[in-house]
């Protein structure tokens, strides 16, 4: 055992063992002193580490208390009976941290983010943890036609619109109500014409942290004029822990027999391509890095995986994706009622800015996203499931990220 480990914790062992020495000799024979000492030290370290993580989260909370566009911004923390917690800011409805226990019961932050609100407002910020709307993913050339009327959107991804445009929900201050210690409600009203979209859209998103370490996200929306809606969350995960250098060692399963291939600007061609025999077949779990460098035109277009998968089952009861880290033992299961799942392997992360949590950098492919959704550019593809919402209808969808160890 590492000498520094013994020296730094030996005093704790002797203090803790005083009452134990008084126990019957038969018990001490059954449980060797050295083994007991190590066990107690590990438990003590985990407790101290978890308390330190919680204390750090409290100090970070103060850096989120500000005003943006005349509206109050703060950080809300939900915590369950298992000690897991999630912190969410009402600026963009962003998941800032998500602490879940690993195989040693050590709380591990599994989402990328920043320690203060300012970094989320910098140019080129990659939507860390954000609620995405009015339309998640891309719309080709920022144009679509609905009921005979043509609409032009803000272009913020070359010639296309990405995640709602420059004026997307990720940059809005949402009205927040913490219902209880495990539930947060967020509301936002998107004006008719905002970012180019028709209709006033009234949106409600509810975050719930359940006692079985699942983060459930429920979405509701209504409109006063026909519009298109595709809401999702853009959390960046690393199950080795936020700030770890890679996710290529993560084992991934996606329950999909097809995906939607894209052109060079990452707009779907309209085809549904079978995954069998390609690098896109994740029906049987494999590491993300296993085939990511294959000579495949689709992988070249995305600089890795950045594609929508056509889900086989999406009843909200069967996992549509499962990811596992061998380092921490943490497994993520994704449940949804959405027909599509955007798997993004963090190809555009560079690590150039060392402004992540704890001043860490987030290098190339150091996180993955699993964004539940209707298909990208669906308003321009009649063969894709419709994303049209009309007056009198209610947009309703739900996604759950469940963590196991």
* Tokens describing residue 248: 């290529």
Among left, alpha and beta (phi > 0; psi -120 to 50; other), residue 396 is beta
Three-state SS for 118?
Answer: helix
**Alpha-carbon gap, residue 131 to 99, rounded angstroms:** 19
Please classify residue 200 by burial: count the beta carbons closer than 10 Å to its beta carbon, then call 0-12 exposed, 13-18 middle and 19+ buried. Answer: middle
| Alpha-carbon radius of gyration of the chain | 23
Q: Tell me, what DSSP letter sits at residue 160?
A: B
Cα angle, residue 377 at apex, residues 111 and 372 outer, rounded to 5°: 30
Cα angle, residue 401 at apex, residues 397 and 402 outer, rounded to 5°: 130
The catalytically annotated residue of 234, 250, 307, 374 is 234
Q: Are 95 and 235 in contact (CB under 8 A)?
A: yes
Query: Does 234 qualify as catalytic in the annotation?
Result: yes
**Residue 124: closest CA among 160, 171, 63:** 171
CA distances, 157 to each of 161, 196, 203, 223 (Å):
6, 15, 24, 26
Please list, in sequence order, all residues whose beta carbon lies within 8 angstroms of the beta carbon of residue 381, skipping any fewer than 6 positions away: 268, 270, 375
Query: Does 371 qualify as catalytic in the annotation?
Result: yes
**Alpha-carbon gap, residue 389 to 36, rounded angstroms:** 62
62 membership: H or E segment, kind and range: helix 33-62
The catalytically annotated residue of 194, 371, 374, 381 is 371
**Alpha-carbon gap, residue 73 to 347, rounded angstroms:** 30
Please classify residue 308 by burial: count the beta carbons closer than 10 Å to its beta carbon, then call 0-12 exposed, 13-18 middle and 19+ buried. Answer: buried
List active site positions.
Answer: 234, 371
């Amino acid at each position: 055992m590492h000498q520094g480990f013994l020296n730094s914790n030996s005093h704790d062992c002797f203090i803790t063992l005083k009452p134990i020495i008084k126990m019957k000799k038969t018990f001490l024979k059954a449980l060797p002193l050295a083994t007991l000492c190590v066990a107690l030290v590990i438990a003590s370290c985990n407790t101290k580490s978890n308390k330190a993580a919680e204390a750090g989260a409290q100090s970070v909370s103060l850096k989120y208390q500000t005003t943006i566009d005349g509206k109050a911004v703060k950080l809300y923390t939900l915590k369950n009976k298992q000690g897991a917690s999630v912190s969410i800011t009402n600026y963009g409805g962003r998941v800032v941290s998500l602490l879940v226990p690993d195989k040693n019961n050590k709380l591990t932050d599994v989402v990328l983010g920043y320690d203060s609100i300012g970094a989320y407002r910098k140019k080129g910020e990659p939507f860390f943890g954000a609620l995405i709307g009015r339309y998640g993913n891309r719309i080709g050339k920022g144009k679509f036609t609905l009921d005979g009327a043509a609409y032009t959107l803000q272009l913020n991804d070359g010639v296309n619109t990405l995640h709602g445009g420059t004026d997307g929900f990720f940059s809005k201050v949402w009205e927040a109500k913490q219902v209880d210690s495990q539930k947060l409600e967020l509301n936002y009203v998107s004006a008719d014409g905002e970012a180019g979209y028709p209709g006033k859209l009234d949106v409600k998103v509810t975050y719930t942290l359940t006692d079985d370490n699942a983060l459930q996200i429920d979405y509701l929306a209504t409109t006063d004029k026909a519009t298109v809606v595709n809401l999702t969350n853009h959390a960046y995960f690393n199950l080795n822990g936020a700030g770890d250098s890679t996710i290529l060692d993560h084992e991934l399963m996606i329950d999909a027999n097809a995906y939607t291939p894209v052109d060079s600007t990452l707009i779907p061609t309209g085809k549904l391509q079978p995954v069998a025999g390609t690098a896109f077949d994740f029906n049987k779990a494999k590491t993300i890095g296993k085939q990511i460098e294959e000579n495949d035109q689709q992988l070249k277009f995305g600089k890795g995986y950045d594609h929508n998968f056509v889900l086989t089952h999406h009843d909200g009861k069967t996992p549509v994706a499962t990811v596992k880290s061998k380092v921490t033992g943490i497994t993520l299961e994704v449940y949804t009622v959405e027909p599509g799942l955007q798997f993004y392997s963090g190809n555009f992360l560079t690590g150039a800015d060392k402004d992540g949590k704890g001043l860490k950098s987030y290098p190339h492919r150091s996180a993955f996203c699993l964004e539940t959704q209707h298909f990208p550019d669906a308003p321009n593809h009649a063969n894709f499931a419709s994303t049209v919402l009309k007056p009198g209808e209610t947009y309703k969808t739900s996604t759950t990220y469940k963590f196991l160890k």
